[in-house]
Structure 1
Amino acid sequence: MHNRRIRGMVLVLVLILGITSAFSQSLEDIVSKALGESSQMQDLEITKNNALLTQRISDAEEEVGITVSSGEVSATYNPSSASYEFENLGGVSTSFVLPNDGDTTISVSTGKMSYLPNGSAFAISPTVSASHTLTYGYTTDNRQSLANRQTELLATSSYESSKLNFTNTIYTQISSLLENEKAIKQTEKQIADLQRDLQQNLTLKLIREGSLTHETQKQAIASQEATLSGLKASRELLLKQYASLTGTSWEGVDSIPEPVLDFSNNSEENSTVLLQSLAVSMAKEDLALKMAEFENKSLKLGGSLNFEAPNSITGNETITPEFAATLAGKQFSLTGKVEGTYDFTAKDFTPTVSVSGSWNNNPASTADSLTVQKLQNEVLLAEIAYADAKNDYQQSATSLENRIASWNLSYMLLGQTMDYHKQVLEQQQDLAKRGLATQREVDDAAFTSQMDAYDMATTLLEGLQLENEIRILQI
């Protein structure tokens, strides 16, 4: 309630004291237009959107992979039969890879095909097979999801932080313009007061022209005029900087809102800390996957059926079933296979069982050990960086809390000062009506209150910068 009363008083001062020419645009409109005109912010937004698009593409779920291929078909003319003989050595095949952890694969193929039109005979050997791999140990690879989360967080936090920093730059530029305008008005008043005093002293013959006192007062006026000239030159530079920053010319500002300085000290809301946390998770994931190369074992199961009709549909047909299993680790591999052939003509089945295996003494164990040690060190470094990020956040948070407390105190004291100056002005106006105060005293009190409006505007802008710093720390 107190803050709303102060803001209302500032706006009343602006209207009563005739400085509306310096306060003519809302701060929200200025910032919104500047953000829209800024090529830097447009580039950052495009970069953010591209990064998020890449992240969404990476997050897209895998679908069933389908591959269809056909062998080369040839036609050969046979003069003795006066016909063409057709042959496809590769046949037509289709394979399906299911999107699961076991890379389940199903393949269907016609095998070798041939066709002799004169005898209506053909040869075909269709095959259907399937395989699936079971892995025992650590199999989850979270690196893609962690990388996508890093990309999303980095893209959004960089854009939002840059946007808030850009807004703070605008606030700083506006504050500089208002402070410059206030200094110009104060200097102009000082010059007017010095000239009036000098003229009164000469008129009342309190000093004589050409005297040391007269020259001293003239020098004081000249000094203030030089100061005014410098302030106006600075203003021209500030106006150019403002136009370059916002893309528009300076037209003044009004409707400066009160800042909301609610701050919760929570490092887990900070993007820098979160990114370092994700870096730790990524380093641990790399280590876990590397260790899985040594510790994991896999069992690959596969089976197939092959049918052969080498002569014709009524010829010597056979069917060959096969089942195989391979158990493999870092240093060994063991395969067992059962297959057989059934001859339809002879009605005879011939089974075959085979076993094979391999073992090595892992000659690369030293290099692997060094790789693991390096990954362990990277985990440690990531954890140190994470701890440093949390410590840096805490220091920033403490500094920000102190600045918020300082601003709140300054804001409260300024409100009290404005109340006092308003009362002084009302008192001087009342005394002037009764002939107990001069118009100059009324004008001086009014000018002091007018300068308070500038102080309140710049103080509110400082508070809005603090509000943005809070938001930056919480991104």
Structure 2
Amino acid sequence: MKKIVFTAMILFLAVMGIFASNYSDIISSAKENNISLKNAEISYLNSKLTIEKSELEDEVNITISGKAQVSPDLSITPTVTIVLPNDGSTTISATTPFSMSYSDTSKLSFTPSISVSHTFDLSGYDSDIITALSNSKSALQSEYSYQYSLLNFENSVISLMKSLINLEKNIENQKYSIQKSEKSLNDKLTLGQITTSSITYNQLANQLELSKNTLSAYERQYENAKKQYKDLTGLEWEGVENLPNPELSLASLSTGNTNVIIKSIDVEIAKNNIEAKNALINPKNVKVNGSVSGTGIKNEIASQKALSASAGATYSNGNWSLGTSLSSSYNLNNTSFDTPSVTISGSWSNKTAAKADELQLKVLENNLISATNSFQDEYTSYLQSFNALQLEVMQYEFSCSQTAANSDYLKANLENVRAYYEAGLATEQELKDAEFNVKLDEYTQTVLVLDGLTLANKIKMLNL
């Protein structure tokens, strides 16, 4: 039934707006004409680019360095360091020191080596989580702000159109009232019911002058509103046609709207800040490393060739660590292994910042409580806004029913009065009044549909 009422209104308005502008054209032109909206779009696009930049994957980091020294022999030390983009920052370093004597080119020395290290984090905390959460929050905020701006701007255009139409209605009504009052006053003078010097005439003349002043005020407001419309849309006001059917279906979101989701992300960020602080205070990791190097020396006495290798691991937990390493070498000249060596190391240090860390953790825990409370408040606010909007939709639908019933009554009354007039049972003024009431109702129906479009946008804004 509601859709039938809306459809009937829109068809009716389409007939009356023969020279009016298309609603969608008005909105599009206004958006194109508004600098603030263009700036909002640029801000939105820049925000997306910033987030996209922060989400770029880390790449392999390669560093090439070296040094050369001439004193008294020539020595060159090229080094290549590669850091892989993984959680343990695997580092591979290779170097090949080389030296040669100027006086005796048979004196050569080179000691190539390669080493690898990797750290395994045992704390169970992923440092990328906060970054991912922050990026998600920024993306949601940016999208919400932009879409909200678009809908809010559209409602401002609708509001100005409503003002123009209501002013047109008031002007038409005031003109008709003045016309009737002037005719009534002239008729009374003609029939000798009053004279220009009578108190009644003065009262009626004053009321007529007041009505004319009111009309002038309406006309000034109308001209000012048309100027505002031109500034806002870039178009001349010619009325509006082809109004879309307001979509007023309303359903609450189980997760709440974007504002609620953002608050829930704040809760997750607060939780992860606590985990990050705990991981920083009590780090748990194992760092493993290994290396292989070679030695080659050639001079006038002899040549020496050897290989060396080592491997080790260090476990760190809070303020203490324990490590062990194994190393050995192999002499290529006499094909023999040197005695391997084992090294055990350890360290401990007192926590000088223990009290400060404890206080900082307390602050982070309070932040979590605050974020949780804000999330609950935001969700409650969303539900309250939903209930208020639901009531507003019900009231609007009731207004539609009342307006439709009143429109049917005015049209039926016009047909009846016209029939009475043709039969000589109604005056010409009564017929004009019936026709004018139907004309004024056209303005009422247009404003009602615009109210529905405003309400539809409010529903979209709530559930963004």
The TM-score bracket by the shorter chain reads over 0.9
SS of the residue 1:157 aligns to? helix
SS of the residue 1:317 aligns to? strand
1:288 aligns with 2:288: no
Q: 1:344 & 1:315 partners in 2: Cα distance?
A: 10
Seen in structure 2, the aligned counterparts of structure 1 residues 207 and 319 have a Cα distance that, compared at 3 Å, is same
Counterpart residue identity of residue 114, structure 2: V
Seen in structure 2, the aligned counterparts of structure 1 residues 109 and 465 have a Cα distance that, compared at 3 Å, is same
TM-superposed deviation, 1:11:
4.5
Q: Which residue is equivalent to 1:189?
A: 176
Counterpart residue identity of residue 389, structure 2: L
Task: Pick the aligned partner of 1:432 from 396, 421, 425.
Answer: 421
What pairs with 1:82-121 in structure 2 (closer than 5 Å)?
A: 86-88=74-76, 91-114=77-100, 119=105
TM-superposed deviation, 1:182:
0.4
Q: Is the 8 A contact 1:327 1:334 kept in 2?
A: yes
Deviation sequence 1:158-191 (CA, Å, 0-9, x none)? 1111111111111111111111110000000000
Q: 1:127 & 1:383 partners in 2: Cα distance?
A: 54
Task: Pick the aligned partner of 2:341 from 339, 352, 355.
Answer: 352
Q: Which residue is equivalent to 2:35?
A: 39
Q: 1:33 & 1:209 partners in 2: Cα distance?
A: 54
Q: 1:110 & 1:371 partners in 2: Cα distance?
A: 47
1:297 aligns with 2:284: yes
1:335 aligns with 2:331: no
Larger CA deviation: 264-273 vs 309-318: 309-318
Larger CA deviation: 306-315 vs 136-145: 306-315
Larger CA deviation: 229-238 vs 411-420: 229-238
Q: 2:190 & 2:230 partners in 1: Cα distance?
A: 47
TM-superposed deviation, 1:325:
0.8
Task: Pick the aligned partner of 1:369 from 358, 364, 369.
Answer: 358
Gaps of at least 5 residues in structure 1 are 79-84
Task: Pick the aligned partner of 2:264 from 261, 267, 277.
Answer: 277
TM-superposed deviation, 1:429:
2.3
Counterpart residue identity of residue 422, structure 1: K
Q: 2:13 & 2:460 partners in 1: Cα distance?
A: 31
TM-superposed deviation, 1:118:
6.1
Q: Is the 8 A contact 1:10 1:453 kept in 2?
A: no
SS of the residue 1:362 aligns to? coil
Counterpart residue identity of residue 473, structure 1: L
Q: Matched residues, percent identical? A: 30
Deviation sequence 1:94-134 (CA, Å, 0-9, x none)? 22222222211222221344475963553211111111111
TM-superposed deviation, 1:460:
1.2
Seen in structure 2, the aligned counterparts of structure 1 residues 228 and 261 have a Cα distance that, compared at 3 Å, is same
Q: 1:133 & 1:15 partners in 2: Cα distance?
A: 76
TM-superposed deviation, 1:72:
2.8
Q: 1:366 & 1:13 partners in 2: Cα distance?
A: 74
Q: Is the 8 A contact 2:75 2:97 kept in 1?
A: no
Q: Which residue is equivalent to 1:445?
A: 434
Task: Pick the aligned partner of 1:178 from 146, 160, 165.
Answer: 165
Q: Is the 8 A contact 1:307 1:318 kept in 2?
A: yes
Q: 1:261 & 1:37 partners in 2: Cα distance?
A: 28
Q: 1:345 & 1:194 partners in 2: Cα distance?
A: 127
Aligned residues: 461
Q: Which residue is equivalent to 2:371?
A: 382
Q: Is the 8 A contact 2:5 2:401 kept in 1?
A: no
Q: 1:465 & 1:52 partners in 2: Cα distance?
A: 29
Deviation sequence 1:183-202 (CA, Å, 0-9, x none)? 00000000000011111122
Q: Which residue is equivalent to 1:212?
A: 199
Deviation sequence 1:129-157 (CA, Å, 0-9, x none)? 11111121222120110010011001010
With normalisation by structure 1, the TM-score equals 0.91
TM-superposed deviation, 1:411:
1.0
Q: Which residue is equivalent to 1:81?
A: none
Deviation sequence 1:232-283 (CA, Å, 0-9, x none)? 1111221222223223332221122221111112262411111111111000
With normalisation by structure 2, the TM-score equals 0.94
Q: 1:73 & 1:294 partners in 2: Cα distance?
A: 43
Q: 2:375 & 2:267 partners in 1: Cα distance?
A: 7
Q: 1:216 & 1:37 partners in 2: Cα distance?
A: 50
Q: Is the 8 A contact 2:94 2:113 kept in 1?
A: yes
Counterpart residue identity of residue 345, structure 1: N
1:320 aligns with 2:308: yes
Counterpart residue identity of residue 461, structure 2: I
Task: Pick the aligned partner of 2:108 from 106, 110, 122.
Answer: 122
Q: Which residue is equivalent to 2:132?
A: 145
Task: Pick the aligned partner of 2:68 from 73, 78, 83.
Answer: 73
Gaps of at least 5 residues in structure 2 are none
Q: 2:309 & 2:442 partners in 1: Cα distance?
A: 93
Q: Is the 8 A contact 1:294 1:329 kept in 2?
A: no
Counterpart residue identity of residue 331, structure 1: N
